[in-house]
């Protein structure tokens, strides 16, 4: 696997497709790795130069001592695009990757043609809850978080019908870096873009899961209302909508970036 060492972190990444085609980069959610995008990179690699990476502290990227900041998560994306000599890309991020995408749209709009933010919010949850989770993970590991993740990530019908998929994702979470997970919780604790979104001018698609208990449709509507050149797509899924409803997800993304 190719890697990039920058900003005290080594990022694990993979590319798919022809580097001469338009670039499309995917950013994973908390507690997952870039493998969560398999149904996306297989779909888009024929028409795009697809870039997937493990967020710092996740997958096969390293987990430097935290806490991390949202600015670091965003700048890792810019460094990766620079490394790959990609001047401009479309970006798609989910949950933690979605708030990273909002930060990029605010601070580096010239690097992106489109930004798609999925199952996310301008501020995700409460600072105290994230800091408590970070402390609990550092004290007790990730097994307890992993044991209950499925009910936050997916609808009950998906959990029942796709047990192997759910088990693999839960296993990946349990096997992840404690420091990386906790440090990203600390980044999310401080991340708040509610006052900044009205400066965004580039096209933004907001995908919201109608059954998402973590980041609700109302959270998605807030983002859409703040950004002038944006639209909202509601999808019949819970929090990890790209895995639960890959066909509808892929079609929404494709339609948006082709327009």
Nearest to 177 by CA among 57, 13, 24, 41: 57
The CATH-assigned architecture of domain 3-258 is: 3-Layer(aba) Sandwich (3.40)
Tens-digit pLDDT profile for residues 119-160 = 999 999 999 999 999 999 999 999 999 999 999 999 999 999
* Mean pLDDT, rounded, of the chain: 97
Residue with tokens 């698609």: 205
- pLDDT exceeding 70 applies to what percent of the chain? 100
Q: Token digits for 131?
A: 């800091």
Residue 1 has pLDDT above 90, yes or no: no
Please state the pTM of the whole predicted model: 0.97
The structural domains of the chain, with segments of one domain joined by +, span: 3-258
d(CA 197, CA 103) in angstroms, rounded, equals 9
Tell me what pLDDT residue 14 has.
98
Q: Are 193 and 123 in contact (CB under 8 A)?
A: yes
Tell me what pLDDT residue 6 has.
83
Using CA atoms, how far residue 56 sits from 18, 35, 78, 159, 176, in Å, is 26, 15, 13, 28, 11
Confidence of residue 5 (pLDDT cuts 50, 70, 90): very high
Tens-digit pLDDT profile for residues 183-224 = 999 999 999 999 999 999 999 999 999 999 999 999 999 999
Using CA atoms, how far residue 36 sits from 7, 29, 111, 138, 142, in Å, is 25, 9, 24, 24, 18
d(CA 130, CA 225) in angstroms, rounded, equals 26
């Amino acid at each position: 696997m190719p890697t990039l060492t920058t900003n005290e972190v080594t990022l694990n990444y993979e590319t798919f497709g022809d580097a001469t085609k338009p670039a499309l980069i995917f950013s994973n959610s908390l507690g997952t790795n870039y493998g969560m995008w398999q149904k996306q990179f297989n779909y888009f690699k024929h028409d795009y130069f697809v870039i997937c990476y493990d967020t710092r502290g996740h997958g096969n990227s390293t987990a430097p001592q935290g806490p991390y900041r949202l600015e670091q998560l965003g700048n890792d994306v810019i460094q990766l695009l620079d490394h790959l000599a990609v001047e401009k890309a479309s970006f798609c991020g989910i949950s933690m990757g979605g708030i990273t995408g909002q930060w990029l749209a605010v601070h580096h709009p010239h690097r992106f043609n489109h930004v798609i933010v999925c199952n996310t919010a301008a501020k995700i949850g409460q600072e105290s809850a994230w800091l408590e989770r970070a402390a609990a993970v550092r004290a007790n590991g990730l097994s307890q978080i992993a044991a209950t993740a499925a009910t936050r990530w997916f609808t009950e019908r998906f959990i029942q019908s796709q047990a192997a998929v759910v088990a693999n994702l839960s296993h990946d979470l349990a096997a992840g870096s404690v420091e990386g997970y906790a440090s990203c919780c600390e980044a999310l604790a401080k991340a708040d873009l509610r006052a900044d979104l009205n400066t965004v001018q580039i096209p933004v698609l907001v995908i919201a899961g109608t059954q998402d208990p973590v980041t609700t449709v109302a959270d998605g509507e807030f983002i859409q209302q703040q950004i002038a050149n944006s639209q909202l797509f509601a999808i019949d899924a819970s929090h990890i909508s790209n895995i639960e409803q890959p066909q509808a997800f892929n079609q929404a993304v494709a339609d948006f970036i082709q327009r």
